[in-house]
Amino acid sequence: MTRTRRAYVETYGCQMNISDGELMEGILEARGYGIADRPEDADVILVNTCAIREHAEKRVLGRVGQLKGLKADNPDLVLGVTGCMAQRMGDDLARKAPWVDLVMGPDGYRSLPEALDRVRRGDVKSHETVVPAPSGRSKKRGPQLTVLDLDTGENYQGLEQRRTSDVAAWVPIQRGCDHRCTYCIVPYVRGPEKNRDPLEILGEVAGIAAGGVTEVTLLGQTVNSWVSGDWTFARLLRSVARVPGIRRVRFTSPHPNDLTEELVEVMAEEPAVCEQLHLPAQAGNDRTLKRMVRRYTVESFLEKVEMARKAIPDLSLSTDIIVAFPGETHEEFEDTLELMRTVRFDDAFTYKYSEREGTPATRLPRDQFVPDDVAQSRLERLIEVARGIQAEINAGEVGRVEEVLVEKEARDPGHLLGRTRRNKVVAFPGDLAHVGSYRTVALTSTTGATFAGEAVDAGRPGALTAVAGD
């Protein structure tokens, strides 16, 4: 009898990519693979990568170099690089890292088991080339396989992802992106928008709920532009929120332009939809937004914020901001700080512009590119303002009593970590048996970003038992 092969998947990047990592695990498990928790225990290692910023790619390249060492101990080990960076770099990655056996982009996963079999059999025609090793000696690269076709039909309908959390589940409803924000690599590595069928999505959510998981997050690059026949995203959200057993629904990332009255109404009306919205602004200046091709103005962004807050008064808002987009002047950067002060986001994910080869922004005049020291100081200033606002908001929330879904044990022994409906992280003393259940927690203090609290209910152990009674 042959031993079960084991795969280890290590994922970088956004929730969509994490969800893709679970998909690859699911596909391999369905073909008889076991899933390893450590690369050392695996026969197949897949590094599932992100290409959004240069920094993210450098980190992953370092990691892929590190994993090469495992091949010395296990010559049969198959090492693959998947995801957005694999798609972006393609054959170039195969050349730069000759010890990598498989390079596969985000639309290739359906054929992952076959690709691994081919690599193992050496049934690969491409890249049978000899490259000079750095020492000057010649080194034959093994047969490498690259799978890089973007498939406009592939939305992985019918395939099951392996869900690792008993508490919350990601549900991808859309792949790819139809926008062309001028800084962004995503449309090039993930192709055009592809939406999944609503009934299949609802069936999947029902299955998740039947397994005892009560929180789902719907995923897409512009999740609220999802549409299928006469189904709008708002209608889908309402239906997901009404699936028996589902207590919390979130979604990310919406595009501000597709935040409709109908969607905000559903958010306000459906008890399961959380009072939380991630609304990426990217910048607070019209000239910058125009050159980013975000297709909204500061004024229309603020109108969307106002519309959402009017419908959901206790809404928690987060955003993404890029500083030092090519051509951004100091005054234009100050406008972004002004937007932060006007909206007062509960949380902000802040980035320095990173040049991505092939994107339109790279063709802006070179002399407009912002020097790194200037970009760095803008980033630090933005973080200072965003953190200051966050700390003020959170200090004002100390004393509230909130429903917390317990996610895991905190670093502090005897403490648990969970999230409020408004997506705020709370640590409080409690027993591991409560992971997956809902507790009523008084927020007693804040570090600025997260909270400490005390449970004020008796608590009921275990997610699965708690759900059954609801």
Residues at the interface with ligand SF4 (CB under 6 A):
177, 179-181, 184, 186-187, 221-222, 255
Euclidean distance between CA atoms 249 and 169, whole angstroms: 10
CB of 468 to ligand SF4, least distance (A): 39
CB of 258 to ligand SF4, least distance (A): 10
Closer residue to ligand SF4, CB minimum distance, 179 or 387: 179
184 is in an annotated binding site: yes
13 binds, among ligand SAH, ligand SF4, ligand F3S, none (CB under 5 to 8 A by kind): ligand F3S
Pairing state of beta strands 276-278 and 227-228? unpaired
Give the count of alpha carbons within 13 A of 444, CB side only: 10
Closer residue to ligand SF4, CB minimum distance, 255 or 434: 255
Closer residue to ligand SAH, CB minimum distance, 79 or 263: 263
Work out the angle at residue 176's Cα, subtended by the Cα atoms of residues 173 and 177, and round it to the nearest 5 degrees.
Answer: 110
Pairing state of beta strands 44-49 and 78-83? parallel
User: Binding of ligand F3S at residue 16 (CB under 6 A)?
Assistant: yes
User: Binding of ligand F3S at residue 175 (CB under 6 A)?
Assistant: no
Closer residue to ligand SAH, CB minimum distance, 170 or 351: 351
The dihedral region occupied by 116, where left means phi > 0, alpha psi between -120 and 50, and beta the remainder, is alpha
51 binds, among ligand SF4, ligand F3S, ligand SAH, none (CB under 5 to 8 A by kind): ligand F3S
Question: Which candidate, 291, 281, 285, 282, places its Cα nearest to that of 369?
Answer: 291
Interacting span for ligand F3S (CB under 6 A) from 50-58, 122-130, 134-142, 242-250: 50-58
Euclidean distance between CA atoms 169 and 208, whole angstroms: 7
50 binds, among ligand F3S, ligand SF4, ligand SAH, none (CB under 5 to 8 A by kind): ligand F3S
Of residues 52, 86, 169, 201, which one binds ligand F3S by CB under 6 A? 52
Exposed / middle / buried, residue 165 (Cβ in 10 Å: 0-12, 13-18, 19+): middle
User: Binding of ligand F3S at residue 435 (CB under 6 A)?
Assistant: no
Query: DSSP H helical segments within 9-77, as ranges?
Result: 15-30, 54-73
Closer residue to ligand F3S, CB minimum distance, 185 or 427: 185
Q: Which helix (DSSP H) or strand (DSSP E) does residue 209 occupy?
A: helix 198-210
The dihedral region occupied by 96, where left means phi > 0, alpha psi between -120 and 50, and beta the remainder, is alpha
Question: Which candidate, 62, 61, 49, places its Cα nearest to that of 12?
Answer: 49
CB of 75 to ligand SAH, least distance (A): 38
CB of 190 to ligand SAH, least distance (A): 10
Binding site for ligand SAH (CB under 6 A): 52-53, 183-184, 186, 221-222, 253, 255, 280, 282, 320, 322, 351, 353-354, 356
214 binds, among ligand SF4, ligand F3S, ligand SAH, none (CB under 5 to 8 A by kind): none
CB of 221 to ligand SF4, least distance (A): 4
Identify the three-state secondary structure at position 332.
Answer: helix
CB of 129 to ligand F3S, least distance (A): 28
Scanning residues 187 to 206, which ones bind ligand F3S (CB under 6 A)?
189-190
177 is in an annotated binding site: yes
274 is in an annotated binding site: no
Sign of CA dihedral 193, 196, 197, 202: negative
Question: Which candidate, 307, 315, 322, places its Cα nearest to that of 345?
Answer: 315
187 binds, among ligand SF4, ligand F3S, ligand SAH, none (CB under 5 to 8 A by kind): ligand SF4
DSSP-assigned letter for residue 109:
G
CB of 356 to ligand SAH, least distance (A): 5
Interacting span for ligand F3S (CB under 6 A) from 13-21, 137-145, 340-348, 431-439: 13-21
Question: Which candidate, 162, 159, 186, 164, places its Cα nearest to that of 175?
Answer: 186
Whether 83 and 64 have beta carbons less than 8 Å apart is answered as no
User: Binding of ligand F3S at residue 50 (CB under 6 A)?
Assistant: yes
Helix pair 372-397, 330-343: axis angle to 10 deg: 10
Peptide bond into 377 cis (omega under 30): no
Question: Which candidate, 195, 181, 252, places its Cα nearest to that of 223?
Answer: 252
Interacting span for ligand F3S (CB under 6 A) from 45-53, 122-130, 379-387, 398-406: 45-53
The most distant pair of C-alpha atoms in the chain lies apart, rounded to whole Å, by 70
Of all residues in the shown chain, the one whose CB is closest to ligand F3S is 13
Residues flagged as binding site: 14, 50, 84, 177, 181, 184
Residues flagged as binding site for [4Fe-4S] cluster: 14, 50, 84, 177, 181, 184
| Residue numbers at the binding site for ligand F3S (CB under 6 A) | 13-14, 16-17, 50-52, 83-84, 185-186, 189-190
